[in-house]
Structure 1
Amino acid sequence: MKRFRKPVIVVICFLAMLSFMQSALADAGSFDIGLDGETPIPSLVASRLKELSNQSVGRVLSPNELAEFQDILKKHGWPTYRTSGPEIIEICGDLLRRSGQDFSFQRYMLRLLDQQVGDDIRPAAYARIADNIYAAHEDKQLYGTLWRLDGDRALTWPPIKSEDGMLFFRDFYGMPSLDEELAAISKASPDSYHNVYEGALAQPSATYSRPDIRRTLGDLIYLDQQLRNELSKAKAKGDEALSEKVREKIVAIDRENLSRLKAIFDEVGFPTREMVGIDGVSTAFLLVQHADEDPLFQRHALALAEPLMRQRQMSRRQFAMLSDRVSLAFGEPQVYGTQMVMQDGKYVLQPTIDIDNLDSRRKEMALGPHLKMLESANSDEN
């Protein structure tokens, strides 16, 4: 059985998501549950899970049923499509929804399932489960999949826990923006949208046309993030000598990664979801952002990415960040206000065009208001 999956690709989550992830991880010590790995859940155990599901329809699991469900997952892991098939995933999803007597367990499992979203877990169905769980315990939702009708208008209800976290998730997985969705619901039958979210949790495991490139990107980002984590730790300790040594290593690894990244782009252009998966595209973006030594390459990559971004085949947020980085590298003001600089002890925007309309442009790219971004950055710094 696997614990939290050692990633082939590191999915880059923005700071806005950290509060949810950290709250889930805070409960991780209470449970010893991973994925089922290479061994399918035994047929007798699968039959027992079906019995638990059938006998608990329409209610929460009793303490004994919940304990049994948890014990099964501790022993065998959460089922994956490759090893146990879709039916058992659906059953476990139903049981997770009914595990409301233990919110910390539900949060832990959401964190575990998060790494399967887009692989064998359907993003929309995962979002609805998470929203129902949080709505039941905190009267808040994470991703905006719950709503009510006010006359002929659809409104999110209960309120969103973190707007930026919601924007990130919807953008990352190519879901409609919340405004687009609410407008469509208001014009059409709400039931059609309930079906989108209440459909199957499982989906066939993702396949990739270029697994070799996916593996290469995984290797590159592993070193990239390992060194940057070391730098963060050194800075937190106030060890300037160590920080400088790590910075030198980062410069060297960025240069090496750039060479290998260029070879990939020369062969296939900007890697697509079909080639390397959602997280692979995200990883390619991050590596390009760290290629500051070659702004011409960054601008070339940005041009290749734009049509894919407009088709929602990659994150608009990451595209905006790279676009701003390229603009500043060529001495031009940024468009989306994603790049900040420390000035007089606090973060401020680097030169940005048309500040009055900045938040409108940011909204188009699934970014929240710029003042909230600055407030968050400065509160983290303090």
Structure 2
Amino acid sequence: MFKNLLTTLFLSIAFYSCINQDPYGIQGLQKLSLQEAFEITVKNAGKEHKRIIYRYHNGKVAPLDTIRQYSPLKWGYDYYANMNNEIQVVILRKPTKEDTLFQRKLAFAIEQKKRPKIELVDIDCHAIDKMLARILFMNQENKASDRIDEEIDFENLTKVVSILEKCGMPTVEEVGKNGVNTLWLIIQHADPLYRSKYYPLFVKAVERGDLQPGKIAVMEDRMHQDSGEPQEYGSQIIYNENTGQMEVYTLQDPKNVNKRRARVGLEPMEVYVKQFGIDY
């Protein structure tokens, strides 16, 4: 009996010793860089996978239902994967600015992956001015409604992409300023893929004088946000789920932002952000 007691005591000590040495259950796993975690997560988005164990920083298991009650921005995440690059454990901790940028970049990428693929439609390149006028009208009507129709947005995007692919970027002489601005508007509010792909065409439009420099500045800000980087001109406003307030998305060199805005014809930040209820 005494021998059995010693054996039980020994096993108990060994068990708790193992727990203390590896409280997160990550022994044998490799910690991923944020870029590695990004690539694996996006690649596997929408696929079935083995249950990932989430743990608080003290080592306790975090129930998935509890995590889903909060914004992904509430925590920072350390990802651990096995030799097959399968994420097994995620440790939750206090978020940094880098974590916040990463989560926004990840959300954009996953949302983009879910979008249906565009199939080009027939375009009469000699009559795109009328098509663009119709696209602008449909876009304005859709945005003014109580509930945005994503099918209308997708139809407008399909036509705009088809125009750019089959006809190239039209000039102001061909479609008027409203026509060029409509192309910019639809691409500006499309998925990141289209902004990065057609950005050079809009740069050339600015160089020709067909598009205001402020438009390309706003597009550049959006592209920085797409990639999880700080913006330059302060045009991107986000909703902070933790505070319940609107705020300026992360900005590089805030002291000189109004100088940069003035160079491209944008109003000062103090004036711009008032429409969002923000004091700057």
Instruction: Give the TM-score normalised by the residue count of structure 2.
Output: 0.51
1:51-92 Cα distance to aligned partner (Å, 9 max, x none): xxxxxxxxxxxxxxxxxxxxxxxxxxxxxxxxxxxxxxxxxx
> What are the within-5 Å matches in structure 2 for residues 162-173 of structure 1?
none
Deviations 1:175-220 (A, max 9, x none): xxxxxxxxxxxxxxxxxxxxxxxxxxxxxxxxxxx65111111111
Q: 2: CA distance between counterparts of 1:330 and 1:252?
A: 26
Are 2:130 and 1:215 aligned? yes
Aligned residue among 227, 246, 251 for 1:352: 251
Residues 1:274 and 2:173 are matched in the alignment: yes
Measure the CA separation in 1 of the matches of 2:183 and 2:271.
27
Per the TM alignment, residue 345 of structure 1 is displaced from its structure 2 partner at its CA by 4.5
Q: Does 1:265 align with 2:180?
A: no
Higher RCO (C-alpha under 8 Å, 6+ residues apart) = 1
Give 1 or 2: higher strand fraction: 2
- Distance verdict in 2 for CA 1:375–1:345, change over 3 Å: farther
Secondary structure of the residue aligned to 2:154 is helix
Superposition pairs of residues 302-341 of structure 1, within 5 angstroms: 302-341=199-238
TM-score (norm 1): 0.38
Q: Deviations over 1:310-365 (max 9, x none)?
A: 34221122222222112211222212111111333543211121111111111111
The 1:371/1:345 distance shift into structure 2, 3 A limit, reads: farther
Partner Cα distance (1:252, 1:360) in 2? 40
Aligned equivalent of 1:200: none
Q: Post-superposition shift, 1:273?
A: 0.6
Which structure shows the higher helix fraction? 1
1:288 corresponding residue in structure 2? 187
2-structure distance, mates of 1:324, 1:211: 33
C-alpha distance in 1 between matches for 2:140 and 2:197: 24
- Assess if the C-alpha contact under 8 Å between 1:254 and 1:290 holds in 2: no
Measured in 2, the distance between the counterparts of 1:313 and 1:377 equals: 29
Q: 1:235-291: CA deviations, max 9, x gaps?
A: xxxxxxxxxxx23x1x22222222111110012222221221111111111111121
Q: Does the 8 Å contact 1:324/1:335 carry over to 2? A: yes
Distance 2:155 2:227 in 1: 23
Unaligned runs of 5+ in 2: 1-124
Of the structure 1 ranges 323-332 and 360-369, higher mean CA displacement relative to structure 2 is found in 323-332
Note if contact 1:214-1:280 (Cα within 8 Å) is conserved in structure 2. Answer: yes
Which whole-Å CA distance do the structure 2 matches of 1:221 and 1:256 have between them? 12
Q: Which structure has the bigger radius of gyration? A: 2
1:1-382 paired onto structure 2 within 5 Å: 212-231=127-146, 246-247=147-148, 249=149, 251-292=150-191, 295-343=192-240, 344-378=243-277
Say if 1:345 and 1:211 are closer, same or farther in 2 by CA, change over 3 A.
farther
RMSD: 2.1
Gaps in structure 1 of 5+ consecutive residues: 1-209, 232-245
Q: Distance in 1 between matches of 2:171 and 2:247?
A: 34
Mapped partners of 1:323, 1:316: distance in 2: 11
Structure 2 CA distance, aligned partners of 1:341 and 1:326? 14
Give distance in 2, aligned partners of 1:296 and 1:376.
Answer: 29
> Separation in 1 of the partners of 2:221 and 2:162?
24
Q: Distance in 1 between matches of 2:275 and 2:190?
A: 26
* Paired residue secondary structure (1:351): coil
Identity value in percent? 28
* 1:7-54 residue CA offsets vs partner (Å, 9 max, x unmatched): xxxxxxxxxxxxxxxxxxxxxxxxxxxxxxxxxxxxxxxxxxxxxxxx
CA distance in 2 between partners of 1:361 and 1:350 (Å): 16
Distance in 1 (alpha carbons) for counterparts of 2:180 and 2:135: 13
Q: Which amino acid aligns with 1:214?
A: D
